[in-house]
Amino acid sequence: MYKLKSETSEIEGVLRFKIDIPFDVKFVCLYLFEIGEKKVLIDAGLHFIDWIKIFIDELKKKNLALEDIDYCFVTHEHLDHVGLIKKIKRANPKAQILMHDITDRNIKWMADRNNDKEIKNSALKIAEEMKTYGINDYYGKRVTQYFTTWPKLYRYQEPDVVLHDGDEIEIGNNKLKIIWTPGHALGHICIFDPQKKFLYSGDHILSRITPHIGIFNVSPKIRETHDFDNILALYLQSLDKIDKFNPKIIFPAHQDVIYTPHERINAIKAHHEARLQEISDMIEDNPMTPFKISQIHFGEDLDEMNMYLALNEVLSHLIYLEHQNKVKRKEVDGNFLFYTN
């Protein structure tokens, strides 16, 4: 049986808890720091028994406990970022749980079993859309299963503070700045400490890979109020927003701490520019479904989940190009083919 590994380090006054998770990303990092007498935690990890025990043990090594946490900022709704919210609140009822409005609304939607039928219908709609982009019925069923299974793992905890872009949360003599950064998740936020110029980036900016960008199963009410069709454009705009703050250090939820933020942001933008060009070249006078493009671009030996993520990545780039009138689509036998000419 694999034993989860952990490592705690301190970087310029910030405690970094690095703990394995049983997914492809290998580990997740939580960050704990003080502002005055208040202790601030960025993200809440996984609700797995072994993971919780390791995190609590790591806290004990620093003479800390869950009840010492005064603020917990949630960068986004994914399961490896929200797991301990309820435990933190039970340990310290005065602790402030903070998350973006979209994150709150979507977790609440997924966790409410009264919404199971609506969640399934939404998943079926995504699966049908994916089939028009080239996947077969089998993969369509797998997509539906994925989007109806994961919500059952969520447990809702009402946040004490619902956040929006540009909010400033006053803690002691400091004000942490909230930057809404949709892309990897629709309600994703980064938290900026203007005094130290530290940015806590969640999954928005990683040190070695780019985060997944794609289609999400979200509450229909969120889709009524927000247009996320061109999700890659929103992601790239979010990078520019962050760059203007000129952070000194970026603390991501996975991989390594980033000490050259401007260079890393430019590298991510260059990566997407290269992918946009590669996809454009691939379909020049050669119409293809997004799924076929993803197979050529990422390979055909992916497992089902990575196959879906690859398709999403390609699709986000195609829609971005489509909004710029650089690619077109046509329907052939119920499938959409994209091409440049």
By C-alpha distance, which of 52, 157, 168 is closest to 108? 157
Token pair recorded at residue 70? 């005064």
pLDDT for position 205:
97
pLDDT for position 1:
44
What is the C-alpha separation between 63 and 53, in angstroms, rounded?
Answer: 15
Average pLDDT of adjacent 10-residue blocks, the chain of 341 residues: 77 94 74 96 91 92 96 95 94 97 96 95 93 92 90 93 98 96 95 98 94 85 89 96 97 95 97 96 95 92 83 95 96 95 76
Packing angle of the helix pair 290-298, 261-282 (nearest 10 deg): 120
Terminal CA-CA length for the chain: 54
- What amino acid is encoded at 323 in this protein? H
Domains and CATH numbers, the chain: 6-108+157-271 (3.60.15.10), 113-150+283-339 (no CATH)
pLDDT for position 71:
98
Q: HEC string of 16-79?
A: EEEEECCCCCCEEEEEEEEECCEEEEECCCCCCHHHHHHHHHHHHHCCCCHHHCCEEECCCCCH
Burial (CB count <10 Å: 0-12, 13-18, 19+), residue 79: middle
Q: Dihedral angle at the C-alpha atoms of 94, 98, 101, 106, nearest 10 degrees?
A: -90
What is the C-alpha separation between 278 and 221, in angstroms, rounded?
Answer: 36
3-class secondary structure, 14: strand
pTM of the model: 0.94
**Looking at the DSSP assignment, which residues form a beta bridge with residue 14?**
11
